[in-house]
Structure 1
Amino acid sequence: MPIMKIRGGDLDLVEYEFTSFSPGEHIRPCGLQKEYRLAPVAGTVVVRAPARIHLTVLDMNRFSPDHPGGGGIGFAIGVYCTAEVECTPSGLSIDYSREPILRHFVEAFRQVVGYTGGFRIRARDHQYEHVGLGSTSTILIAVANALNTAVGSPLTPDELRLLLGNNFVEETEAGNVAFGFETGVGPAASTYGGMAVMGDDLALVYRHPFGTGKQVYIVIPSSGVSSAGEKEFDLLMNKARTLDYRDRALKSYLILMDLIPALERGDLATVGDVVWEIEFRGSKRAEVEHHGFEIYRYMAALRDAGLEFVGMSSVGPSIAVITGRPEEEVAEILAKAGLRIAIATTVDNEGLKIRVEERA
């Protein structure tokens, strides 16, 4: 695995070595390991979890691949991942294209709750990978809740978020895993729906319904720049950290004093104004500029056309537009900017859904 250099300032240069390991190693139980009274259900647990739009991290200096946190804001959208889990006498069967990341969390969950039986797992994500819609975190929180329900719900939703965030991994080409970046925004938004505001250490500070009665349009501009692997590391742990030293206080102030009150009164226009300001601040600026200034040109054209909410998700290049204007009108605005609607949906304000299908 590569050794990456992290520079946060003239006197702040450290080296970080990405260490890969086999799924199931380096488990972090988060103080949750104890004797639970398990009651495996008879049947298949099915969980549907909404994806998320991750609007910004609050401070990149407070997280790294082996330290979840950093705070942030994001909201759930009506694009879904599903997981099906069935308890079996022994063994582990996983039907999913990215099997190592699921295997790792399954072992973490087993170790914490003391489950000694097996699982049969089938998972399907939303098929929009590495474009800023959180496919990894969404499928993981869906599987986590399915596993938990399947053995009798020993952990609370917040305990599942904590366990997942501290054991969040990405797979390597060799089939191993390595700790990944995790703010906790995705699992919180997927679990509870609406807009989530996160503090450090995966703390859910605030959650509120958002965008009720409005449409969400996802635009995915073409980008020749990778938003995964070493490219993502370089982006998040170098320029982004430096910019957040400067702007983290301002971003936090905008969220506390402007964004949250606007969410309380259902003021989409003000929420959009705050998000637009943040697009030019701190680590969010680094994420947008990662794709070149073309993303700013696109978003500015949409804002100038009067669309209330325009923001790039995560490290992009997906752009989320929220408006009450009809789809035909939005499509015309996008076409003038050389863009098109990739996904038309709404904010999911309910969060993940769980059901049990009894065996025939």
Structure 2
Amino acid sequence: MAIMKIRGGDLDLVEYEFKTFAPGKNTKTLGLEKRKHALKPVKGSVMVRAPARIHLTVLDMNRFAPDHPGGGGIGFAIQCYCTAEVRCTAKGIAIDYNRAPIVRNFIEVFKKATGYKGGFSLKVTDHEHQHVGLGSTSTVMIAVATALNEAIGSPLTTTQLRHLIGHNYVEETANGKIAFGFETGVGPAVSIHGGMALMGDELSLVYHHPFAEGKNVYILIPPTDISSAGTQEFDLLMNKARTLDYRDRELKAYMFLMDLVPALERDDLKKAGDVIWEIEFRGSKRAEVEHHSYGIYHYMNLLRERKLEFVGMSSVGPSIAVVTALDRTAMKKLLKPLGLTIAIATKADNKGLVISRSA
């Protein structure tokens, strides 16, 4: 696997080797295996539905790496779902999902952490929008983790599940192998609780609150041939983005605490949108947007000029999230002269995980 260079300044250059490994061969149980867990496997199957996320920004990209989760950030849940159905079996692991290696890896982590000796049968579905900024991997993983946990009597807390996912966050590579990926913890947090969440470093959940209840969320995917995955994502996140966050991280933290949180408390969507628009030009978010060329700024600015309340690019893009009171007909009419179309029409999810059981 390639060795990638990380440059944060003239005297700040390190090398990171992306090491691939087979699922289950490089697990981090965080010491949970040392505790006694009361395991009570349930009869029948457990179904978990998890909302996807819009990841608005990382707080400081100098505080995370592919094998070191953190960095802080903010995002919100949307009514676009992944599901995991799990049944306990006597032995073995059966996975019905086209990205089986990432699921198998977490199952091995989970079994070691809890001491469970039996098997699992899983069926997983995702929202089928991969690598466009909607958090397909993190949403699937919190659905899987919660279903596994519920299936054996819920020995772990949601915080412990979030941390296990974060420290074992992987993406698939060639030949069925996996490699550690980037994880701030925003996705699992908003999937669990719904609404908008503010994360600190080391996967700490600082704040969460309902967001944009009753408003519409439109996901627009402007045309781009720039990749948001693999080595291109690494180059972006660990070089230019780090340099910009050295400069702007204090300002971003101030804006979150002093402007965004109060706006959420009083359900002021326009003020929240003004804060996020300012963030689009600050620190690592600027690097993410410019990664897709200035065309993304052009599109977002056109949307802002049409008085849409909340406009922001999700993760490393290219998806643009618009939150507004406009209905779909009015939104389509507004977008037509801009050359944009609605990829997904949905709403914010303020419920979080939904768990059900069947015989």
Tell me the residue number matched to 1:16.
16
Tell me the residue number matched to 1:30.
30
Q: What is the correspondence of 1:192-231 to structure 2 with a 5 Å cutoff?
A: 192-231=193-232
Note the residue ranges of structure 1 that are not aligned, 5 or more in a row: none
Tell me the residue number matched to 1:292.
293
Q: What is the correspondence of 1:143-154 to structure 2 with a 5 Å cutoff?
A: 143-154=144-155
Q: What is the correspondence of 1:135-174 to structure 2 with a 5 Å cutoff?
A: 135-174=136-175
Tell me the residue number matched to 1:73.
74
Corresponding residue pairs, total = 358
Letter in 1 for 2:353: L
Displacement after TM superposition at 1:245 (Å): 0.4
Q: Note if 1:186 corresponds to 2:178.
A: no
Q: Secondary structure at the match of 1:292?
A: coil
The CA distance in 2 between the partners of 1:100 and 1:2, in whole Å, is 21
Q: Secondary structure at the match of 2:174?
A: coil
Tell me the alpha carbon deviations over residues 268-308 of structure 1, each in whole angstroms, 9 at most, x when there is no partner. Answer: 00000000000000000000000000100000000000000
Letter in 1 for 2:184: T
Percent identity between the two aligned chains: 66
Displacement after TM superposition at 1:221 (Å): 1.1
Letter in 1 for 2:192: T
Q: Note if 1:346 corresponds to 2:347.
A: yes
Tell me the alpha carbon deviations over residues 223-266 of structure 1, each in whole angstroms, 9 at most, x when there is no partner. Answer: 10000000000000000000000001111100000000000000
Tell me the alpha carbon deviations over residues 31-82 of structure 1, each in whole angstroms, 9 at most, x when there is no partner. Answer: 2222211000000100000000000000000000010000000000000001
Letter in 1 for 2:266: R
Q: Secondary structure at the match of 1:35?
A: coil
The CA distance in 1 between the partners of 2:235 and 2:41, in whole Å, is 44
- Relative to the length of structure 2, the TM-score reads 0.99
Letter in 2 for 1:152: G
Q: Note if 1:125 corresponds to 2:126.
A: yes
- Relative to the length of structure 1, the TM-score reads 0.99
Letter in 1 for 2:56: L
Tell me the residue number matched to 1:313.
314
Q: Secondary structure at the match of 2:111?
A: helix
Q: Note if 1:41 corresponds to 2:31.
A: no
The CA distance in 1 between the partners of 2:123 and 2:327, in whole Å, is 37
Displacement after TM superposition at 1:331 (Å): 1.1
Q: Secondary structure at the match of 1:75?
A: strand
The CA distance in 1 between the partners of 2:48 and 2:78, in whole Å, is 16
Note the residue ranges of structure 2 that are not aligned, 5 or more in a row: none
The CA distance in 2 between the partners of 1:83 and 1:60, in whole Å, is 31
The CA distance in 1 between the partners of 2:193 and 2:216, in whole Å, is 19
Tell me the alpha carbon deviations over residues 315-345 of structure 1, each in whole angstroms, 9 at most, x when there is no partner. Answer: 0000000011222121122112110111111
Tell me the residue number matched to 2:87.
86
Runs of 4+ aligned residues of structure 1 deviating over 2 Å after TM superposition are none
The CA distance in 1 between the partners of 2:44 and 2:243, in whole Å, is 51
The CA distance in 2 between the partners of 1:171 and 1:219, in whole Å, is 26
Letter in 2 for 1:257: M
Tell me the residue number matched to 2:233.
232
The CA distance in 2 between the partners of 1:216 and 1:326, in whole Å, is 10
Root mean square deviation, CA, Å: 0.6
Tell me the residue number matched to 1:331.
332
Displacement after TM superposition at 1:29 (Å): 1.0
